[in-house]
Amino acid sequence: MENMALASGILIFAGKRSLMAQEKTTPDTSPVRVMMIYNNTGSQPGLKGAWGLSAWVATSEGNLLFDTGGDPDILRDNMRHLRLDPSSLISVILSHDHWDHRNGLSWLLEHTAYVPTVLVPAEVREKYAQTYPAARVRGITGPTEILPGIWSTGSMATTYKGDPLYEQALVILRGDHLWLLNGCSHPGVIPMVSQVKEAFPGKHIALVSGGFHLGSKTAKEVREISDLLRQEGVEKIAPSHCTGEEAITLFRKAWGNSFTAFNLGDELVIL
């Protein structure tokens, strides 16, 4: 069954995979459609769930892929089931250099005729350029517009198991509102939201979605993060992937109608 909600120009379709156009809300904007095509949360007939994340972003200027999941075969099968053509992609954006977000890239680069621009945090650009010499690899440092109204947050530095790690997230701007898609939020979902507010002053955060990386947090810590998200002015949240089942349950209870599912096979239409 399809569920639909509207929040600050964002239509959320649970399970809907129709590509029908939505009416523009202003003359100078067009819808952005974001479909979760790889995730370990949720399920849809014909799609395979697995640990990782990948989202297809369709705009009037072209298509983007945010992350590529952890299993190349599953990414391939899900894209074929959804009839998504990799040759239509302008760019692939990798949030960070972890297997569950990068491994599907090998199928795109080695088993299709598609030669994309691959956008990675600048600190790992050389690694990807050497691993995939046929790809056009671009390193992202600060906030960067990829397509009109579609931005990278820029690279944020943190550590993971004692090693340096760099992560970027995707921002979609429409008017005074923005929508944030995080891969894993290793730098912390609150610091990432704060960076977005600093980079886009005066913009309202309509939705924060994706991986919040809270599986190891206590219930008390999750509630504190939930409260901080509200204090940051976030209107809605849609956690998945590495957020953790218990944390997702706590968020759902705390946010009520301001919580939405954005899992495998779900689609957002941002107006």
214-232 pLDDT, tens digit per residue, is 999 999 999 999 999 999 9
Contact 159, 165 (CB under 8 A): yes
Number of domains in the chain: 1
- What sections of the chain are H helices per DSSP? 72-81, 99-102, 105-110, 125-131, 189-199, 219-231, 245-255
Q: Is the dihedral of CA 115, 103, 120, 264 positive or negative?
A: positive
Neighbours of 251 (CB within 10 A): 23
Report in angstroms the alpha-carbon separations of 61 from 14, 43, 56, 134: 25, 30, 14, 24
Query: What is the predicted pLDDT for the residue at 18?
Result: 30
* Coil/strand/helix, residue 73: helix
Is 134 inside a domain boundary? yes
Is 23 inside a domain boundary? no
Query: What is the predicted pLDDT for the residue at 225?
Result: 98
Rounded mean pLDDT of 24-43? 79
Query: What is the predicted pLDDT for the residue at 185?
Result: 98
Is 249 inside a domain boundary? yes
Identify the CA nearest to 269 among candidates 172, 132, 189, 130.
172
Is 151 inside a domain boundary? yes
Is 235 inside a domain boundary? yes
**Radius of gyration, alpha carbons of the chain:** 17
Angle, CA of 32, 65 and 265, to the nearest 5°: 70
Regarding predicted confidence, which is higher, 29 or 9?
A: 29
Q: Is the pLDDT of residue 7 over 60?
A: no
Lowest mean pLDDT among 43-47, 111-115, 257-261, 262-266: 111-115
Dump pLDDT digits (tens) for 195-221.
Answer: 999 999 999 999 999 999 999 999 999
Is 140 inside a domain boundary? yes
Query: What is the predicted pLDDT for the residue at 140?
Result: 98
Domain range spanning residue 209? 3-15+30-270
Is 192 inside a domain boundary? yes
Q: Whole-angstrom distance between the N-terminal and C-terminal Cα of the chain?
A: 23
Is 22 inside a domain boundary? no
Identify the CA nearest to 106 among candidates 77, 161, 156, 68.
68
What is the average pLDDT value for the chain, to the nearest integer? 90
CATH code for the domain in which residue 132 is found = 3.60.15.10
